[in-house]
Amino acid sequence: MAGWHIGIIGGSGLYDVEGVEDGRWVEVTTPWGAPSDAIFSGRIGEVAVSFLPRHGRGHRISPEAINARANIDALKRLGVTDVLAVSSVGSLVEARPPGSFTIVDQFIDRTKGRTSSFFGTGCVAHVSMADPVCPRLSDYAAAAVGAGVDRRGTYLAMEGPQFSSRAESVLYRQWGCDVIGMTAMPEAKLAREAELPYALVGMVTDYDCWREGEAAVDVAQVMAQVSANAAKARAMVVRLLRALPKARPASPIDTCLDSAIITAKGARDPALVAKLDAVAWRALGLG
């Protein structure tokens, strides 16, 4: 089997981990526009790794303005085989306090106005999102976090950039959601369309605003906990990369477009097919 190349999408300081060899910033051009930033690529041991600051260095891009298509395309162009997302989230359950980590396994998408597919008129595809994360990568991430990690959780993806109203926060709890954030969608959907196994580690920063008698979440509270979580997140990344088996086992997600592209070959729009040269080259026979 081919080796691993892990793409890590997270905070602007996540790439500052110990042990990265041959690290360098790489500028990647995509047909979907500019990614959030250059990508810091290197290796830890025998595992290639590429870090992409989701909001750009200095956290300059608002959640709803992130060009998720360009981010996923850029990672695919670099040869990334699997994507680990590391995201700050709010907690919707008492048992997941600030400072805890959740391995997300389901999503409810409440975003609006974000482009959520590489495909469209001229080349239509319908990937399955029934099981939206990669179980094997999620298991590696859970083991790397260690004791106390919540191994399952439903993530409510909200539009932002504003935080929830109290009524919304209570409603999401009634829906059975465990954590809430602004960035996982359409990122997870696009990773699936690019045939990239995806896992998400949610780092809890706050209790959102559902707890009665408590002040609402604010940026100062979130950033204080983000700083506290950062060292733990970097250590988790290193442990995960060092624990991966030498040979990367194949994943069904590697070939998920085989059962997703519905437009007949002769009816496909050449201009759109050209833009899919990285994310769908295998399924479209462009290699």
Q: So which residues are the catalytic ones? A: 206, 208
Residue 194 to residue 76: CA distance in whole angstroms: 7
DSSP-assigned letters across all residues of 60-92: -S-GGG--HHHHHHHHHHTT--EEEEEEEEEES
Residue 197 to residue 135: CA distance in whole angstroms: 9
Residue 271 to residue 266: CA distance in whole angstroms: 13
69-81 burial, b at 16+ Cβ within 10 Å, e below that, comes to: bbbbbbbbbbebb
1 CB neighbour count, 10 Å cutoff: 9
Of 278, 251, 240, the closest CA to residue 79 belongs to 278
99 CB neighbour count, 10 Å cutoff: 14
147 CB neighbour count, 10 Å cutoff: 4
Specify whether the CB–CB gap between 125 and 262 falls below 8 A.
yes
